Chains A and B, each alone.
Chain A
Amino acid sequence: MAKTKTKPLGKKRSLIGLTVAFSVICVIYVMPVFLVALNSFKKNSFVKTETFKWPTAESFAGFENFITGVTFGGYPFWQSVLYSLLITVLSTALIIFFTSMAAWYISRVNSVFCKVVYFACVFSMVIPFQMVQFTLARTADTLKLNTPWTIPVIYLGFGAGLAVFMFTGFVKSIPLEIEEAAAIDGCGPFRTYFKVVFPMLKPTIISVAILEIMWVWNDYLLPYLVLDKTKYRTIPIHIQYLKGSYGTVDLGATMALIFMSIIPVIVFYLTCQKHIIKGVAAGAVKG
């Protein structure tokens, strides 16, 4: 009796220890994000020298960095934000819509051609962007895929690999009986897909969405090389222009811009975090 009583107590104690340990790790985990926020309020020359210190009267810059970041370079920052939003949302929507359909087709039809497409997709996941950077920029320009409204097609093409890989993994695990039942009820492939299959894909949709959103939102080189530079900039491109021709960087303003570009993502994450974590878990485990 005594023995069984102490055991859960000991276990409880170790659980408390774990909780404490994890809490400490959590604080360390948030630190870098916090540091960006902190340093965005410091004057440029103090960012490197007093990285970890609280802003002092001497180093505190107020909102100056934010103002510089938003106003420099004669290009309206709000436009870069809009283009970034547009490209990210549109690309993610396109990727999810078209690759999930393709994945369903691939795993249900499973012809030789499907296998070829599937393997090409898996291969594309390991290609470094540098290999196609110039040829892709040229192709995109020829086909006029160089505006924020059309560049999502490029993202769909270049990002299809991962999405198809993940969707196919999930679709394979969906029992065929459900679709067969739908077919017997007289559903054609369109209704079967949109009424039956697509809703079931939700977890994978979320985990694909989060990967693609993070990729597109933070991507610099692809939009920089592909977009028509006379008209369009995204946030990462805007941040790059803070660098002077001799490599001098206004670190304070850079931190401010980075901070501003992280905020929407964090807000998005915190509002949907339950779905996201469930999605990543459910989507990936079947992969």
Chain B
Amino acid sequence: MKKLFALLLAIVMVVSLAACGATTDGDKVGADAGSVYWLNFKPESDGALKELAAMYTEETGVDVQIVTAASGTYNETLIAEMDKENPPTIFVVGNTAAVNEWKDFCYDLTDADITKELNDEYKLYDADGKLCSIGYCYECYGIIVNKALLKEAGYEIEAINNFETLKAAAEDIHARADELGFDAFSSNAMDSSSSWRYTGHLANLEYYYESVDDPDAWKECPAEIKGTYMDNYKALYDLMVENSTVDRKDLAAGGLDSAAEFKDKKAVFYVNGNWEWSGLSEVFAAEDLTMIPYYCGVEGEEKAGLNCGTENYWAVNAKADEADINATLDFMKWVVTDPEASAIAVGTFGVMPYTNAVESTNPFLAQASAYASAGNYTMPWVTNFQPNVDAYRETLVGAMNTYNADPTDANWELVEAAFVAGWATQYAAVNE
């Protein structure tokens, strides 16, 4: 017993000594200079942001802390951190629901210097017209195509410009998969690592075309939706899961590695966004790939472009000390104007909609601009309106799993219920 205690004591001492040596408390600059604390949303960007922070501290002496919330826990993390003595000064308020929740904590950015740098309408206001948050990057998504494989299967990318041509190519490739050695779509599972492709990205086309029909109803989050384009949603969804490397029945269990399949050249089409470029660039050159819109059989879709928008909006904590707020605003401005800093930021975020930020080198974003300048319509992220988004999407995933296990019309009705009636239900739950 004594030995055990001696051992424990020894461990404690050694460990605390070692840990003491490990921590390097940098000298904090006086409180007057203020400090910056950015509660970051994307685990992938953690490294780049820490680099930015170190650079800024070296240049100006202002202390910048970057903390990244673990995946899927941003909300809890924010609630806990906001209560602390040193709360975050920059945090993410990415959609209308978040604005309603956090508006009391949002510093009015209307007159901030950084807002003048913003060259696009990525701004979120609360009901009183306060500018709560501004976009710090934007993204696009669509169907990523491996051009070489498509050609090998006997199709030209230029010939695919609507749902019929996409369907013909995909079904043909899937039918000849064994012979070709690759399939049409890579597998996208229904677990939390992938289901957003269907409940977020794909769902967007339904909301978008509905909003085109009735723009007034979609100025803010509508209390209910019509589901006019559910057939198009179904058509594209069925096409994606029927003609993929994995049986649709196995999608629910998850654990599939869609990106790896695409990189191993096992599939021609890969449903994802521009943020995948850094991973894909390990294997592909920019000219090997392209991104095409979600074609779903809507009239005139030959003129469709990519889905562009963002959920990445900066908000500044209004309840922080004034010195900290000022330091934070200076830091944000520096990130989007300093050539070296904005290069790092653009490298991790894609495109930053700021006048003096460096240009993006991301080929998919270039593709998005090419579509836009060719006069095609860009589809904004209407999904940002999804009420009670986690619960809404979860229900939709549940319904889609039932449908995948047994793809009957009766089961599709459940998907429709979750999609259309579920919107109204969640809207009512949140807005009472």
A and B touch in the complex (CB under 8 A): yes
With A45-B257, A243-B71 already in contact, 17 other A-B pairs whose C-beta atoms are closer than 8 Å: A44-B257, A45-B256, A45-B261, A47-B255, A49-B255, A86-B19, A89-B8, A137-B80, A137-B83, A138-B83, A202-B1, A225-B77, A231-B23, A243-B72, A245-B43, A247-B72, A248-B193
- A105: chain B residues at CB < 8 Å are none
A149 interface hit (Cβ, 8 Å): yes
Q: Are A93 and B8 in contact (CB under 8 A)?
A: yes
- A48: chain B residues at CB < 8 Å are 253-256
Within A181-208, which residues are at the interface with B (CB < 8 Å)?
A: 199, 202
Within A3-58, which residues are at the interface with B (CB < 8 Å)?
A: 44-45, 47-49
How long is the Cα–Cα vector from A251 to B253 in the complex, in angstroms? 14
How long is the Cα–Cα vector from A231 to B20 in the complex, in angstroms? 12
> What 5 A-B pairs come out closest when comparing CB atoms?
A48-B255, A243-B71, A45-B257, A247-B193, A240-B70
Q: Are A134 and B83 in contact (CB under 8 A)?
A: yes
B409 interface hit (Cβ, 8 Å): no
Question: Which of the segments B9-17, B163-171, B216-224, B339-347 contacts the partner chain?
Answer: B9-17
Q: Are A245 and B47 in contact (CB under 8 A)?
A: no
- B80: chain A residues at CB < 8 Å are 133-134, 137-138, 225
A230 interface hit (Cβ, 8 Å): yes
In the complex, how many residues of chain A place their beta carbon closer than 8 angstroms to a beta carbon of chain B?
A: 45
Q: Are B84 and A141 in contact (CB under 8 A)?
A: yes
Name B's A-contacting residues (CB within 8 A).
1, 4, 8, 11-12, 15-16, 18-19, 22-23, 37, 41-44, 46-47, 50, 65-68, 70-73, 76-77, 79-81, 83-85, 191-194, 196, 253-257, 259-261
Minimal Cβ-Cβ distance residue in B for A141: B84
Q: Are A89 and B71 in contact (CB under 8 A)?
A: no
What are 14 A-B contacts with C-beta separation under 8 Å?
Answer: A44-B260, A48-B255, A73-B43, A86-B15, A86-B16, A86-B19, A142-B85, A224-B70, A225-B80, A229-B81, A230-B66, A243-B70, A245-B71, A247-B194
A244 interface hit (Cβ, 8 Å): yes
- B70: chain A residues at CB < 8 Å are 224, 237, 240-241, 243
Q: Are B76 and A148 in contact (CB under 8 A)?
A: no
Q: Are B19 and A82 in contact (CB under 8 A)?
A: yes
How long is the Cα–Cα vector from A237 to B77 in the complex, in angstroms? 13
The listed residue with most B CB atoms (<10 A of its CB), out of A146, A237, A245, A246, is A246
Q: Are B83 and A141 in contact (CB under 8 A)?
A: yes
How long is the Cα–Cα vector from A90 to B76 in the complex, in angstroms? 27
Q: Are B44 and A245 in contact (CB under 8 A)?
A: yes
Interface residue from A47, A83, A241, A251 paired with B43 (Cβ < 8 Å): A241
- A47: chain B residues at CB < 8 Å are 255
Minimal Cβ-Cβ distance residue in A for B258: A248
How long is the Cα–Cα vector from A48 to B194 in the complex, in angstroms? 15
- A142: chain B residues at CB < 8 Å are 85
- A229: chain B residues at CB < 8 Å are 67, 81
Interface residue from B41, B79, B192, B257 paired with A247 (Cβ < 8 Å): B192
- A110: chain B residues at CB < 8 Å are none
- A138: chain B residues at CB < 8 Å are 80, 83-84
Q: Are A149 and B16 in contact (CB under 8 A)?
A: yes
**Could you tell me the distance in whole angstroms from the C-beta of B39 to the nearest C-beta in chain A?**
9
Q: Are B255 and A89 in contact (CB under 8 A)?
A: no
Q: Are B15 and A89 in contact (CB under 8 A)?
A: yes
**Could you tell me the distance in whole angstroms from the C-beta of A80 to the nearest C-beta in chain B?**
11
- B193: chain A residues at CB < 8 Å are 246-249
The listed residue with most A CB atoms (<10 A of its CB), out of B22, B254, B257, is B257
Q: Are B47 and A243 in contact (CB under 8 A)?
A: no
